[in-house]
Amino acid sequence: MAQSRLEKIGTIFTRVQGLLRGGAMKTEDKPIWYDVYAAFPPKAEPRFDRPAPEMPVRSIFYAEDVVRAKLHKQNRPNETISLFDNKRSTQSQQFLQIYDNLKSQGALDEQRIYETALDLLAEQRQQSRLDATPEEPAVAATELDVATKSQLLSDFIEAGGQQAKSSGSQYKERKKESPVGINIDSLFKD
């Protein structure tokens, strides 16, 4: 029915075809790709012994890749990047914009453009830190982070106090017996 179970004999299509012909597989159980493969078979059958085509792999490099690699090699960016935030550009994107603007002016050589772009980026980042207001997300996020941490801390302290009060002397006895301060009895109360 299924002919051979060796993957070297036949293709997956011929094996499924044999299963369908022999009745080992029902037509409603056939794979989704079967009808597409039957309607549009590949030019060369995908067999294990078919030699791989000799195609050179092309290197895909952009002009900015060299500059970006140099930036990341010499100056490690110390920022947190959120992939969900599409509005804010990263430090390397800002650097590349400055670098391209200086390069388009054409007055300096490559090394001077790189150094000038680094200086301008540092000034720009310093200016953005000075211009930050409480309404901006960076400052609001740090305030929110501090508020969240303090709320979390107070919740843990409160929960620990309630557990100590509710279990009373049993909690103290269990705490002395085991090095871990968890009262197992309180976990299974209704």
Per-residue pLDDT of the chain (190 residues; tens, 9 = 90+): 455 566 677 788 988 999 999 999 999 999 999 999 999 999 888 877 888 888 898 888 888 888 988 988 888 767 788 888 888 888 889 999 999 999 998 878 888 999 999 999 889 888 888 886 555 555 445 555 666 667 667 777 777 777 666 655 554 555 455 455 667 777 677 6
Q: Is 18 helix (H, G, I), strand (E, B) or coil?
A: helix
- For 136, residues 6+ apart whose C-beta sits below 8 A from its C-beta are none
pLDDT for 75: 83
Number of other residues whose CB lies within 10 A of the CB of residue 125: 13
Domain boundaries, the chain: 1-51, 63-132
- For 157, residues 6+ apart whose C-beta sits below 8 A from its C-beta are none
pLDDT for 177: 52
Residues 173 and 134: their CA atoms lie apart, in Å, by 50
What is the torsion angle, in degrees rounded to the nearest 10, for the CA atoms of residue 146, residue 151, residue 152 and residue 158?
150
pLDDT for 46: 81
Q: What share of the chain is helix, strand, coil (3-state, %, to 5)?
A: 60, 0, 40
Residues 176 and 161: their CA atoms lie apart, in Å, by 17
Residue type, 50: R
